[in-house]
Amino acid sequence: MGGSFDAAKALDAEVVMQTYARKPVMFVRGEGMRLYDDEGREYLDFVSGIGAVNLGHAHPAVTAALCDQASKLVHVSNLFYVEHRAELASDIVGLLGGGWRVFFSNSGAEAVEGAIKLARRWAGVRKPGAFKVVSLDRSFHGRTLAALAATGQASKQEAFAPMPEGFVHVPANDLVALAAAVDDTVAAVMLEVVQGEGGVWPLSDEYLRGARSICDAHGCLLVIDEIQTGFFRTGPAFAHQASGVVPDVITVAKALANGLPIGGIVARDEVAATLAPGDHGSTFGGGPAICAAGRATVGALIAEKLGDNATQSGAYLRERLQSIADATRAITDVRGAGLMVGLTLRNPIAQQVGATALERGIVINAIGTDILRFLPPLVCGKAEIDTLCCTLSDILGESSEADAHS
């Protein structure tokens, strides 16, 4: 490694809170699906900033929109009207077919916090006494305290106990358990259509339709967390649209401005109307520059038909990974939707596989001990998938051979 990487690593260790186990690389430039480190080495990116860079790196339309607006006006607060804010909200509402309103925040976790507040405010008007949120085991909704309480992973909560009260977790794809958990004290059910951080576990369409019916029967809101699945990651604009289910509230973030920090609560008109001036706010959310970038992002995703590519390339990626599974027996399960794909390894070697892939110029995400997650930019094509799968096949083949001789 060159001096630039070493200096940055040493300074990071000295002055940055060590809340991440960083990988031994420093990227300094990106273009489409490719990243380049400080020594000029090229990598194929199958993480895309954890699903945030759906258009690929340095997309010219986003760069131009951001630079143009930044040269004029970056921030004025939410006390004033902003043209790009209203236009971006209109773009999002257009993807859903009308009848929705948007509140912009800075991140996905902030959007989840806002959705929880909205659910409790709505329940205060429509269902007095209801305040609980039911979510799923293995879910992930963010790192702030209420979002963490909604997250169904005890290992992420234990160090920060006690969690805020009012959060209940049930197993995924189990309508009997969900029905048993929803009563007069529940304000909302919060679901990810595909549990991304938990290991890429899709919910069935039957489960989503059943959840909608349970919420309707008990007068509580159905909140769909589309922070990772949104903006064509799984094919349609939002993952829930494939099931035909219409939620009451949607949380968005990540790819909305192609990697720039933004989030949002999207709520049906009548639900959004329960929030009055002063009920909720965000200093930076919905600023002129970030919303200009968001408008360019949504426009390019539609113009380049990247939802169609996510569907086609995602199917090809799962097919190629299944071929590796059949050939090496190192993989026990391949799953996902669109270009949101996960697999389970037979042995607990996910971290080693991720590290070896990085050494060979492929950036992938290992979750826990035995799961690999693939979230490439939606410009990903067969050539990049073939390169990934050839590399993985080599690594897993070598692993299986070593295992056989141990």
Backbone angles phi, psi at 33, to 5 degrees: -90, 0
Closest C-alpha among 364, 388, 58, 95 to residue 252: 95
Backbone angles phi, psi at 136, to 5 degrees: -110, 150
Give the SS3 label for residue 160: helix
Is 232 part of the annotated catalytic residue set? no
Indicate which residue of 38, 45, 225, 370 is catalytic.
225
User: CA-to-CA distance for 389 and 318, rounded, in angstroms?
Assistant: 10
Any idea what the Cα angle at residue 197 is, between residues 368 and 224, rounded to 5°?
A: 155
User: CA-to-CA distance for 13 and 323, rounded, in angstroms?
Assistant: 41
Q: For residue 161, what is the DSSP state?
A: P
Indicate which residue of 46, 103, 104, 140 is catalytic.
140
DSSP character string of 99-159: SEEEEEESSHHHHHHHHHHHHHHHHHHHSTT--EEEEETT----SSHHHHHHS--HHHHGG
Give the SS3 label for residue 204: coil
Indicate which residue of 46, 127, 254, 374 is catalytic.
254
DSSP character string of 23-38: -S--EEEEEBTEEEET
Is 225 part of the annotated catalytic residue set? yes
| Burial letters 93-107, b for 16+ CB under 10 A, else e | bebbeeebbbbbbbb
Backbone angles phi, psi at 160, to 5 degrees: -120, 15
Is 140 part of the annotated catalytic residue set? yes
Q: Residue 263: beta bridge partners?
A: 105
38 residue type, one letter: D
Is 255 in contact with 263 (CB distance < 8 Å)? no
Closest C-alpha among 63, 144, 12, 47 to residue 363: 47
Q: Which residues are catalytic?
A: 140, 225, 254
